Amino acid sequence: MTDTNTNHLSWDEWDELHNPPPAVTDFDRVVERAISRRGFLSVLAMGSAAVAMGSVGNLMSSTSAQAQEAASRFAFKPIDIATDNTIHVPEGYNWKPLARWGEPLFSTASDIDPMKGVSLENSDKVFGENTDGMELFVIGGAQVIAVNHEYVNNETNLPHAPEGMPQSLDDVKILQNMQGVTVMEVAEGENGWAIVVDSPFNRRIHHNTPMKLSGPAAGSELVKTAADPAGVDCLGTFNNCGAGKTPWGTYLTCEENFNGYFGSTNAEFAMPEDYKRYGIVSETRYAYEKFDERFDVSKNPNEPRRAGYIVEIDPSDASSTPIKRTALGRIKHENAAVVIARDGRVVVYMGDDERGEFLYKFVSNGIYVPGGDTSKLLDEGTLYVAKFSDEGTGEWLALTEETTGMKADEIAVFTRQAASKVGATTMDRPEWVAINPVAIEAYCCLTNNSNRAVLKDGKMRTNAGGDVMEINAVNPREANEYGQIVRWYPENDDHADGKFKWDLFAMAGNPAVHKDGVYAGSSNINEGNMFNSPDGMMFDSTGLVWIQTDGEDSNEGEFAGQGNNQMLAGDPVTGRIERFMTGPKGSEVTGLTWSADKRTMFAGIQHPAAPFPDGEGKLPRSTIVAIKRDDNALVG
């Protein structure tokens, strides 16, 4: 049966617990990498990670004039850590809730019952749970936010069910309806921002919403089911984590830990070999498979192969059909950072958030022409995976029939396996990618990796495909619990180029606990700005990078002095990082976008542990908050 004692765990934690990657050994590689590691550590020991890693060192060489100019980029007084149950923002700023779990999108829904949560009848008409990636669209004068609901806390949504485990198909439907995506119009009034109830843009997309498969996997034998013999019509989008926005005004929602929704009611069923790489196992925390046959892999073995994609949604048309863009690969997608290359091709950067998995890039065949046909841009192109050298260079390895020996549909469905074949670099859990709008460079949060270079039974830990997680320059720490942010500069200033240079923008650490060495962090981390587990990341229009954390918030031991999860701003030019916001205890800060006039910043608070945002005696509710300056000046 499902382990109901693990409902408090995040998706990533639950998945690690149930799908520990296998251990294999390759002694020669271990030794080889250990030597490289010593070389790298000796540089770090001199207190100049920056010298080895590149331009973090620019911080030290800034002239005072540059420093002054840089200082003016932080228009706020940095704040201290917090350990309480609310949000803190700098002096001169304020915050208010915009949308809470269970708030009606339509007047036919009633507000949440503070004791019973959301009824089945209301569950597809209200704001879902656990807000995550989001984007704001301006559509004919309306401001429309599309936002993900990554997962649900069973006990919160099913208070009547023992330990939150579904007892019926109705219970399963509540959980299915509370996840997915919300599209909603928002407006600012006298009392701040609010959902425009009954706006024609308002829409819930959930685990049963009809959508289309397109690209190389559409129509493949790998995705055909009894209910969909053509392999093109699927239902639902799952574990929607980060997001993206195309220049043509569509929303990209990213399916991350989709594996957790598919289980088997038949203990004798031989799980297909490819399930292992994605962590599809017979037990689930949601028990969908017990009441909804579609999720029972012993009856529908291809169903999990129809999830794990990037899904394109048109927020301007509430009746439009979402499209699963399989050309962008099937991985545990974190977000989708879109940029247009020099020649007009569309480039999408994507992380696969699992220990030892990879960083990807898609480049379209076609050119983006404003106002032109964009329907095939994300269907036809080449998927690449990143290989980082220890010398600060890297290359994008194409995943093609020639390089992998796999057919196009196999590459689209078994993308991790394809990437292993070409020798991609195992990474410390790639989370969000962010693209600098004022420089040709991109960043990725590598959140942490407790298994990096860790031995188990005398063998070095691997990802689920057997790729060893040795120490390398881009993932330079054993049992990495703090995380780092890698940055790359495409060759020829072109995001479509096959080569890049890279450095580490920041290596998180704890200089209060570790006085020196790699766990103290890079030179731009200090006792006043330290954090762990960078995850969400977005640039604002001025070129500041906003970093959100999803880490250990015990404020003890290795994490003493780091407080609750938080949001910080970083300056790409100087490396300076300052803390802007702290979230309530137990929560993760994730999801960021701005109002059309850039006078409001919207940030997401996911899974708060204690009553939030409405205070004692009320349910803890995942919430998007609106943050403004008291003087209504620009915030991004």
571, interface contact from Ca ion, ligand FEO, none, CB < 5-8 Å by kind: none
Q: How far is the CB of 351 from ligand FEO (least distance, A)?
A: 8
150, interface contact from ligand FEO, Ca ion, none, CB < 5-8 Å by kind: ligand FEO
Q: Does 399 interact with ligand FEO (rule: CB under 6 A)?
A: no
Q: How far apart are CA 50 and CA 346, in angstroms?
A: 32
Contact (CB, 8 A) for 134 and 114: no
Residue (of 569, 571, 572, 551) closest to 561 by Cα position: 551
Q: Does 334 interact with ligand FEO (rule: CB under 6 A)?
A: yes
Q: Does 256 interact with ligand FEO (rule: CB under 6 A)?
A: yes
Residue 588's Cβ-count burial label (10 Å; 0-12, 13-18, 19+) is buried
Q: Does 150 interact with ligand FEO (rule: CB under 6 A)?
A: yes
Query: Site residues for Ca ion, window 425-464 (CB under 5 A)?
Result: 431
Q: Does 353 interact with ligand FEO (rule: CB under 6 A)?
A: yes
296, interface contact from Ca ion, ligand FEO, none, CB < 5-8 Å by kind: none
Query: Site residues for ligand FEO, window 84-103 (CB under 6 A)?
Result: none
Q: How far apart are CA 91 and CA 604, in angstroms?
A: 20
Residue among 447 and 462 whose Cβ is closer to ligand FEO: 447
Q: Does 481 interact with Ca ion (rule: CB under 5 A)?
A: no
Residue among 256 and 292 whose Cβ is closer to ligand FEO: 256
Residue among 564 and 590 whose Cβ is closer to ligand FEO: 590
Q: Does 357 interact with ligand FEO (rule: CB under 6 A)?
A: no
Residue among 20 and 344 whose Cβ is closer to Ca ion: 20
Residue type, 222: L
Provide the strand spans (E) within 239-322.
240-245, 251-255, 310-313
Residue (of 462, 627, 438) closest to 541 by Cα position: 438
Contact (CB, 8 A) for 360 and 352: yes
Q: Does 56 interact with ligand FEO (rule: CB under 6 A)?
A: no
Residue among 15 and 410 whose Cβ is closer to ligand FEO: 15
> Tokens 């269907």 label which residue?
379
Q: How far is the CB of 207 from Ca ion (least distance, A)?
A: 20
Cβ-based neighbour number of residue 198 at 10 Å: 12
Q: Does 431 interact with ligand FEO (rule: CB under 6 A)?
A: yes
State the number of binding residues for Ca ion (CB under 5 A). Answer: 3
Query: Is residue 418 helix, strand or coil?
Result: helix
Q: How far is the CB of 553 from Ca ion (least distance, A)?
A: 12
Q: Does 550 interact with Ca ion (rule: CB under 5 A)?
A: yes
Contact (CB, 8 A) for 428 and 461: no
547-578: b or e for each residue (b if 16 or more CB lie within 10 Å)? bbbbbbbeeeeebeebbbbbbbbbbbbbbbbb
Query: Site residues for ligand FEO, window 8-37 (CB under 6 A)?
Result: 12
- One DSSP character per residue, 90-127 reads -TTEEEEEEEETT-BSSTTSPPPBTTTB--TTTTTSB-
Q: How far is the CB of 491 from ligand FEO (least distance, A)?
A: 29
Q: Which of 52, 234, 241, 406 touches ligand FEO (CB under 6 A)?
A: 241
Q: How far is the CB of 78 from ligand FEO (least distance, A)?
A: 26
- Cβ-proximal residues to 98 (8 Å cutoff; 6+ apart), any chain: 186, 192, 193, 194, 195, 602, 623, 624, 625, 626
Residue among 256 and 312 whose Cβ is closer to ligand FEO: 256
Residues near ligand FEO (CB under 6 A) are: 12, 150, 241, 256, 334, 353, 431
List residues binding Ca ion (CB under 5 A): 431, 535, 550
